[in-house]
Amino acid sequence: MSLVLVTGGCGFIGRQVVAELIRAGNRVRIYDALIPQVHGSGANPSDLPPEAEVVRGDIQDAPRLSAALRGCETVIHLAAEVGVGQSMYEIVRYVGANDLGTAVLLEAIAEHPVRRLVVASSMSVYGEGYYSGPYGVCHETTRRKIADLRTGLWDPVDEDGARLQPMATDERKRVDLASIYALTKYAQEQSALIFGAAYGVSTVALRLFNVFGAGQALSNPYTGVLANFASRIAAGERPTIFEDGRQQRDFVHVRDVARAFVLATTARDVGGETFNIGSGRPRSILEVATLLARAMGREDLKPELLHRYRAGDIRNCFASIEKAREMLGYVPRHGLEETLPDFVDWVRQEASEDRNQMMRQELAARGLVS
């Protein structure tokens, strides 16, 4: 059996990846710092298969990480600070964990070579997704003007003022980094790919879209929009949405993401490649909030549209998953509507603290909300 090191293996995605690896016949060693913002004040691993070995340590602790790596044939690198909004003011923290932490891991792999490295990247590296303009012209790099956003003009337009239509985004799109988080994730994936090519380590980057499912940190308002909405509704409060709620994202179930990681550890001829991992279906944020309120039996809690812009946010980005389908054999199986009942059942059993107001105050105090 292969021994796989999973950094961040106690996290929301990591727990599912670990379980999927064990089902596939692998031995698993987890390396995780168990930070309170993600895991709560108790910071204890939960819902982990008993077969998994857990090593607690910071991703920047080179000796401890190097020791955890010994004997491993494969590494899945999930350890990261996650959250666009928070990254815009806790810059040292995000760069340290995501970029310096990855550098520490790569140096450890240079000492203890592995067969394959799979790194978790993010759809945030794209900035805005592809858009179609008049006469079918594809716009690859689109940015909204702050002056327009301050007057409530949310949708991107071309140079003549014509509204652009969002399109599915594939891996060929030029990156356009709109937040510190996006910058760190792109540096993370590119560092790994450059390292892999130089050291002969087959390296794959998975650009994850909006992952959801049971196990998200309900009290962490900086990540997981579905979990953020759920904590608000569970507290009897209306979910809050920046802008007008019509911005579109791609929501992919955590079990599909976990399967993609396992596929990426064994697929042939994928070294040096990046793959979108999403559902391939766009959803408006307003639609998602409405579906969740209905599933939780609180249709009376209509989403509150803030009509304000948060620095680092983009309008539309959803995935083309054809490359992952063809090269990894990845096919999403868990749709949003079918899995919401299980998600709601889990939410009802969990203790959560609604910290949405705190998040908005922190961003506003720094001038990051217009």
Residue pLDDT, tens place only, 215-236: 887 656 556 788 889 888 988 9
Of 155 and 48, the one with more pLDDT = 155
Q: 370 lies in a domain?
A: no
Reply yes or no on whether the pLDDT at 355 is more than 60. Answer: no
For residues 24 and 32, give the distance between their C-alpha atoms in angstroms, rounded to a whole number. Answer: 22
Measure the CA–CA gap between 331 and 17, rounded to whole angstroms.
Answer: 16
**What's the pLDDT at 308?**
92
Q: Which residues are the active-site residues? A: 181
Cβ-based neighbour number of residue 253 at 10 Å: 23
Q: State the pLDDT at residue 18.
A: 97
Chain centre to alpha carbon of residue 66: 26
- In this predicted structure, what is the pLDDT of residue 34? 86
- pLDDT exceeds 60 at position 305: yes
With pLDDT > 70 as the criterion, what percentage of the chain qualifies?
Answer: 89
Query: Which pTM value belongs to this model?
Result: 0.92
The parent domain of residue 315 ranges over: 3-365
For residue 219, the model assigns a pLDDT of 58
Which residue, chain included where needed, has tokens 């792999």?
109
Q: What is the mean predicted confidence (pLDDT) over 304-312?
A: 89
Q: How many domains does the chain have?
A: 1
User: Do residues 91 and 74 touch, judged by C-beta distance below 8 A?
Assistant: no
Q: How far apart are CA 210 and CA 250, in angstroms?
A: 6
Q: Using the predicted structure, report yes or no on whether residue 47 has a pLDDT greater than 70.
A: no
Least confident of 296-305, 306-315, 361-370: 361-370
Average pLDDT over residues 308-335: 94
In a domain, 240, yes or no: yes
How many other β-carbons are positioned within 10 Å of the β-carbon of residue 318?
A: 25
Using DSSP's 3-state secondary structure scheme, residue 274 falls into strand
- Structural domain contains residue 342: yes
pLDDT of 363 higher than 90: no
Provide the pLDDT for residue 41.
45
- What per-residue confidence (pLDDT) applies to 43? 47
Q: Which CATH number do you get for residue 214?
A: 3.40.50.720
Separation CA 370–CA 367 (nearest Å)? 7
Q: Does residue 240 register a pLDDT over 80? A: yes
- Write the pLDDT tens digit of every residue in 51-85: 999 999 999 999 999 999 999 999 999 999 988 88
Q: What pLDDT digit, counting tens, does each position of 106-128 carry?
A: 999 999 999 999 999 999 999 99
Residue 355 in any domain: the answer is: yes
* Mean pLDDT value across the chain: 90
Q: What gap in Å lies between CA 1 and CA 59, rounded to an integer?
A: 25
Most confident of 26-40, 77-91, 168-182, 303-317: 168-182
Q: Give the pLDDT band of residue 42 (cuts 50, 70, 90).
A: very low
Residues 182-196, mean pLDDT to the nearest whole number: 97
Residue 248 in any domain: the answer is yes
| Lowest mean pLDDT across 166-175, 247-256, 304-313 | 304-313
What pLDDT, on the 0 to 100 scale, is given for residue 221?
A: 58
pLDDT at 39 over 50: yes
Tell the residue number behind the tokens 């900086």, with chain if given: 222
What is the b/e burial string over 77-87, where b = at least 16 CB atoms within 10 angstroms of the residue's CB? Answer: bbbbbbbbbbb
- Which pLDDT value is given to residue 36? 63
Which residue carries 């812009």 as its tokens?
A: 309
CA distance 250 to 270: 24
Rounded CA gap, 296 and 293, in Å?
A: 5
- Quick one: DSSP state of residue 126? G
Q: For 40-44, 140-144, 256-260, which range has the lowest pLDDT when averaged over its residues? A: 40-44
What is the C-alpha to C-alpha distance for residues 203 and 193, in angstroms, rounded to an integer?
Answer: 6
Starting from the edge strand earliest in sequence, which strands make up the sheet with 3-7, in order?
Answer: 53-56, 27-32, 3-7, 74-77, 116-122, 202-208, 273-277
> Is residue 76 in a domain?
yes
Q: Is the pLDDT of residue 40 over 60?
A: no
DSSP assigned state of 302: -
Q: Is residue 109 in some structural domain? A: yes
